[in-house]
């Protein structure tokens, strides 16, 4: 299921629950590459969702174009940081992890051991960090709407 197919909060909950079950499954199998890829996909989803919410807020509810939605992860992180949604220190962590992810994935055939349990755990920490900022963004928007 893609985010676009999630019709309700319950659908989103089920999808995210399945994601974490899948990550745990791959970790239990020591399949760190698969666990990492899914974890980073989770980070990207959270950042993209925050970008869409921020865009709507700034543009009076207008939806971003598919081109804007599908802009690079780095673009979204930088825009969210410039808007004050993500602190600079956290945006640096997210951008550094994206650089590491790109380098390791592109070199994976030469270094299959590049992905470790620690790398997955660090990425999960960044996923939690992104979600923390997503929840703070939501609270701020709700407060401003009152």
Q: Are 1 and 11 in contact (CB under 8 A)?
A: yes
Query: In whole angstroms, how far apart are CA 103 and each of 89, 108, 114?
Result: 21, 8, 10
Whether residue 40 has pLDDT greater than 90: yes
Whether residue 146 has pLDDT greater than 70: no
Whether residue 141 has pLDDT greater than 50: yes
Give the model's confidence band at 1: pLDDT under 50 very low, under 70 low, under 90 confident, else very high: very low
CA-closest candidate to residue 86, choices 114, 117, 49, 56: 49
Angle between helices 88-106 and 32-58 (to 10 degrees): 140
Whether residue 139 has pLDDT greater than 80: yes
**pLDDT of amino acid 43:** 96
**pLDDT of amino acid 30:** 96
pLDDT in tens, 94-111: 999 999 999 988 888 888
pTM across the whole model: 0.88
- Domain definitions of the chain by residue range: 3-145
């Amino acid at each position: 299921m893609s985010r676009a197919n999630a019709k309700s909060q319950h659908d989103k909950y089920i999808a995210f629950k399945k994601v974490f079950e899948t990550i745990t499954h791959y970790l239990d199998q020591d399949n760190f590459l698969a666990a990492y890829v899914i974890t980073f996909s989770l980070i990207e989803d959270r950042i993209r969702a925050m970008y869409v919410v921020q865009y709507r807020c700034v543009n009076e509810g207008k939806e971003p174009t598919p081109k804007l939605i599908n802009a690079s992860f780095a673009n979204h992180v930088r825009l969210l940081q410039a808007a004050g949604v993500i602190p600079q220190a956290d945006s640096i962590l997210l951008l550094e992890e994206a650089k590491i992810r790109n380098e390791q994935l592109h070199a994976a055939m030469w270094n299959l051991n590049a992905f470790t349990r620690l790398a997955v755990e660090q990425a999960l920490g960044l996923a939690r960090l992104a979600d923390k900022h997503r929840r703070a963004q939501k609270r701020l928007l709700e407060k401003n709407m009152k």
